[in-house]
């Protein structure tokens, strides 16, 4: 149980939904929730090559006196003992440093904007930067708590897609849930091409052991094909590629998926390191 998920707790009904999602994830994966109850609206995350300043929405500081109690109650109800994180290092007196050596992080679609602004199709700039820089994947929770009973990996054959598949296998292995691949086949490509990419990335055995279903679409619009993805599935995607332009762009398919699907989304960035369990 040395896998840790980092969660910034918001003591509001919306924050509770996000936290329930974190707890559910920890429960299934056998991970420990590390909970940060912020005392300042700003904090810094020093990644290997970038420093990200997160400016939290003011609601993260609301009812701070009951925040820890609420978080503990929710976690203990699922048999988990949360670890509360207290920053030890400060860049400035009101600017704590948050470690970046967690295995997962959970956050809503935006952590800097008012909840009313958050909706499908919107992922805040801070969340995007965390995804781009972090070695851990980010669980972007659905607006209200929903359980998931399978994992769907979006696999397009690229390096990020391989990352996503590794992550999907890792989750499926730990949780025992069904693993499904989704591929929107690109022009001139065949199933063999994708299979070759999987084998070349050393995931051939995992593929045959864990993947139960492969949704391959040779035509149609991605938005329409996404209807075939179950509503209770955790979506796993790889965002950003390598190279200057790809470092800036989140990825057009990922943008479509996050605009259309209300499911929980697990995003592995370009710096994601696979901690094979």
Partner 1 sequence: MLKGLRRLPSKLLTIQPDDRLTLMVAGVMVGIASGLAALALNRSLEAMLEFVHHLSKYPWAFVVPGLGAAASAIFLDHIMKEGAGHGVPEVIYAVSRYGGLLRLRSSITRLVSSCLTIGSGGSAGPEAPVVMSGAAIGSNIAKLFNMNDRQRVTLVGCGAAGAISAIFNAPIAGLVFVLEVVLGEWSIVNIVPIALASVAGTEVSRFFNGNQIAFSHAGFDIGVADTVAAAGLGLATALFSILLTRAMRSMHHVSEGVKLPKWGRAAIGGCLVGLLTLLFPDVQGEGYHAIREMIVGAYDGAFQLAAIAIFAKILATSLTLGWGGSGGIFAPSLVVGSFTGLAFYRGVTLLWPSIPLVGEGCFALLGMAGLISGILQAPLTGIFLIVQITGGYEVILPLIVVSAVSTTITHYFEPASFYMKDLVDRGQLLRPGTDARVLNDLSLGELIEKDCLVVSPHMTLREFVDVVKRSRRNHFPVEEPESGDFLGMVDLSEVRPYLFDTIMYDAVVVEQIMDSKVKHITYGDELAEVLHIMDIDGLFSMPLVVNRRFVGMISKATLLDKYRKELMVQTTDNP
- In the bound state with partner 1, the residue whose beta carbon lies nearer, of 94 and 144, is 94
Cβ 61 vs Cβ 41: under 8 Å: yes
Under the binding rule (CB under 8 A), the answer on residue 89 touching partner 1 is: yes
Considering only 92-100, 114-122, 230-238, 248-256, which stretch makes contact with partner 1 by CB under 8 A?
92-100
Strands (E), 1-50: 4-8, 32-36, 42-46
What span, in angstroms and rounded, lies between the C-alpha atoms of 168 and 147? 16
62 binds partner 1 (CB under 8 A): no
What phi and psi, each to the nearest 5 degrees, are found at residue 265? -125, 130
Does residue 242 touch partner 1 according to CB under 8 A?
no
CB of 73 to partner 1, least distance (A): 17
Beta carbon of residue 98, minimum distance to partner 1 (angstroms, whole number): 12
Return the exposure string of 165-204: e unless at least 16 CB atoms fall within 10 Å of the residue's CB, then b.
bbbbbbbbbebebbbbbbbbbeeeeeeeebeebbeebebe
Q: How many residues does the chain have?
A: 277
Question: Is residue 199 near partner 1 by the rule CB under 8 A?
Answer: no
Write down the least CB distance from residue 88 to partner 1, Å. 8
**Distance (Å, whole) CA 22 – CA 141:** 8
Which of 6-14, 48-56, 181-189, 232-240 is the region at the interface with partner 1 (rule: CB under 8 A)? 48-56
Shortest Å distance, C-beta 133 to partner 1: 10
Contact by Cβ (8 Å): 206, 151: no
Residue closer to partner 1 by CB (options 40, 173) is 40
Q: Which is nearer to partner 1, 77 or 120 (CB)?
A: 77
Count residues binding partner 1 (CB under 8 A): 28
Contact stretch for partner 1 (CB under 8 A) within 44-52, 159-167, 197-205, 255-263: 44-52
Contact 177, 212 (CB under 8 A): no
- Number of Cβ within 10 Å of residue 79's Cβ equals 9
Which residues lie near partner 1 (CB under 8 A)? Answer: 1-2, 4, 32, 34, 42, 44, 46, 49-51, 53, 55, 80-81, 83, 85, 88-95, 97, 99, 101
């Amino acid at each position: 149980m040395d896998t840790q998920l980092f969660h910034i707790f918001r003591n509001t009904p919306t924050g509770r939904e996000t936290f329930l999602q974190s707890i559910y994830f920890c429960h299934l994966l056998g991970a420990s929730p590390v909970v940060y109850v912020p005392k300042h609206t700003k904090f810094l995350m020093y990644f290997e090559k970038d420093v990200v300043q997160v400016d939290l929405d003011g609601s993260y500081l609301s009812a701070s006196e009951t925040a820890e109690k609420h978080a503990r109650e929710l976690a203990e109800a699922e048999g988990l003992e949360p670890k509360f994180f207290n920053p030890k290092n400060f860049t400035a007196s009101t600017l704590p440093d948050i470690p970046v050596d967690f295995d997962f992080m959970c956050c809503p679609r935006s952590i800097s904007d008012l909840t009313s602004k958050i909706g499908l199709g919107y992922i805040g700039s801070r969340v995007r930067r965390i995804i781009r820089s972090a070695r851990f994947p980010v669980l972007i929770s659905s607006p209200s708590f929903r359980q998931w009973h399978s994992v769907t990996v979006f696999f397009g054959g690229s390096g990020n897609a391989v990352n996503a598949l590794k992550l999907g296998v890792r989750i499926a292995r730990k949780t025992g849930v069904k693993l499904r691949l989704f591929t929107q086949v690109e022009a001139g490509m065949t199933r063999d091409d994708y299979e070759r990419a999987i084998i070349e990335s050393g995931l051939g055995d995992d593929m045959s052991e864990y993947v139960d279903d492969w949704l391959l679409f040779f035509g149609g619009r991605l938005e329409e094909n996404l209807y075939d993805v179950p509503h209770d599935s955790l979506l796993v995607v790889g965002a950003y590629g390598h190279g200057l332009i790809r470092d800036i762009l989140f990825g057009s398919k990922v943008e479509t998926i996050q605009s259309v699907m209300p499911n929980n989304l697990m995003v592995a960035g370009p710096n994601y390191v696979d901690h094979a369990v």
